[in-house]
Amino acid sequence: MSVLEKLWKRGKDFLGVKYPVMAGAMTWISNFELVKAVSENGAFPVLAGGNMEPDLFEKEIDKCVKSLKTPFAVNLITIAPYFRAHYEIVRKKDVPYIIFAGSFPGKKDVESMKEAGKKTMSFASTNSIAEQQIRYGVDALILEGSEAGGHIGHVSLTILLQQVLFEFKEVPIFVAGGIANGKMIAHLLLMGAAGVQLGTRFVMSEECQAHPNFKKAFIRAHARQAVATPKYDDRLHVVAVRAIKNKAMDEFGKLQLELINKLDKNQIDRHQAQYEVEKFWMGSLKKAVVDGDVDHGSLMAGQSVGLMKDIKPIKTILRDLMDEAEEELKRVQKIL
């Protein structure tokens, strides 16, 4: 058994796949086609629920259940308007893994999924959240630093590794945020990670059906251009989103100010305001990913976008990651 195999055995056994490399759920991107390609190449695919219409969501799940030969997960965004409908659909389907995202699931949500035979995962943005989620019964944690793309927490991966990965051993912990090469994977495994999650790297795969303009924007972007959205008012529950700065980011700022003004005048309530926030991101992301409007559409990307230089088949991406990880571990062995 190679050193790499020893280091990621816990994650591999938990996920039931060849490589404990999770393809993070990305709305409008992590569809059945990408999920199938990831599965066929030995990594762990995650279907993005996002704010998909429930009927379409159910059809996507049915395709996964029927076609995939290896385990997969469905990502449920707890703050999305259709969360409860998605939750009930997934609970009744033959879906082996559930990932709660966007915010943190309640104890009953975790318990109900486990009663339905699902393995559950959720994100831990602080050590107190990690402790809470383990107490609620989640089977694994995903430790995602603020370097990641899409909805993010506020703490960098460097701090989370010390706060959570080094402190909690009860469940497997998968690490995400800013990971783009095998060398980084090797060192995260040495630190105790059960595996990793990559998102931006899988956008830059040939199998990803995102619009060519979307991928070109990733290649052109520098890490510093992938910025997080600001929050203007505590009454407006805004989970920070990291995306490449463009006109859509400016438009989101204006939307927040408009919603705050309506809240001041009691023209809408907080629930309606939150719905408008999520509606903006779902629609804006579709505009970029599907339609190719990279000026007015959301370019959700992690800061690892600064390391994206080309588009490759998923098979090649995974082979490169594994080769780089093996080489780095051999280098470390010689040093030690």
Over residues 11-30, the pLDDT tens digits come to 999 999 999 999 999 988 99
Judgement on whether residues 172 and 104 belong to the same structural domain of the protein: yes
Judgement on whether residues 87 and 163 belong to the same structural domain of the protein: yes
pLDDT for the residue 315: 97
Distance between CA 90 and CA 145 in Å, rounded?
27
Judgement on whether residues 156 and 33 belong to the same structural domain of the protein: yes
Structure tokens that stand for 230 in this block: 């600001």
pLDDT tens-digit readout, 178-195: 999 999 999 999 999 999
pLDDT for the residue 237: 74
Judgement on whether residues 197 and 265 belong to the same structural domain of the protein: no
Judgement on whether residues 166 and 229 belong to the same structural domain of the protein: no
pLDDT for the residue 240: 82
> Beta partners for 47?
74
Judgement on whether residues 217 and 279 belong to the same structural domain of the protein: yes
The average pLDDT across 19-45 equals: 96
Domain count, the chain: 2
pLDDT tens-digit readout, 158-174: 999 999 999 999 999 99
The average pLDDT across 80-91 equals: 93
Closest CA to 19 of 334, 330, 326, 310: 326
pLDDT tens-digit readout, 199-246: 999 999 999 999 999 999 999 999 999 999 887 888 877 778 899 999
Structure tokens that stand for 57 in this block: 């969501």
pLDDT, greater one: 282 or 113: 113
Strand pairing category for 241-244 and 150-151: antiparallel
For the cut 90, the answer to whether the pLDDT of residue 280 exceeds it is no
Residue 27 has φ and ψ, to the nearest 5°, of: -55, 135
Report helix, strand or coil for 92: helix
Strand arrangement, sheet containing 150-151: 150-151, 241-244, 226-228
- What's the domain range around 199? 3-210+308-335
Judgement on whether residues 156 and 296 belong to the same structural domain of the protein: no
Judgement on whether residues 31 and 141 belong to the same structural domain of the protein: yes
Judgement on whether residues 195 and 86 belong to the same structural domain of the protein: yes
Judgement on whether residues 196 and 247 belong to the same structural domain of the protein: no
For the cut 80, the answer to whether the pLDDT of residue 176 exceeds it is yes
Q: The CATH number of the domain where 139 resides is what?
A: 3.20.20.70
Judgement on whether residues 219 and 273 belong to the same structural domain of the protein: yes
Q: What average pLDDT does the structure give for the chain?
A: 93
Report helix, strand or coil for 99: strand
Judgement on whether residues 135 and 188 belong to the same structural domain of the protein: yes
Closest CA to 238 of 199, 210, 277, 282: 277
Single-letter code of the amino acid located at 203: V
How is residue 205 annotated by DSSP? B
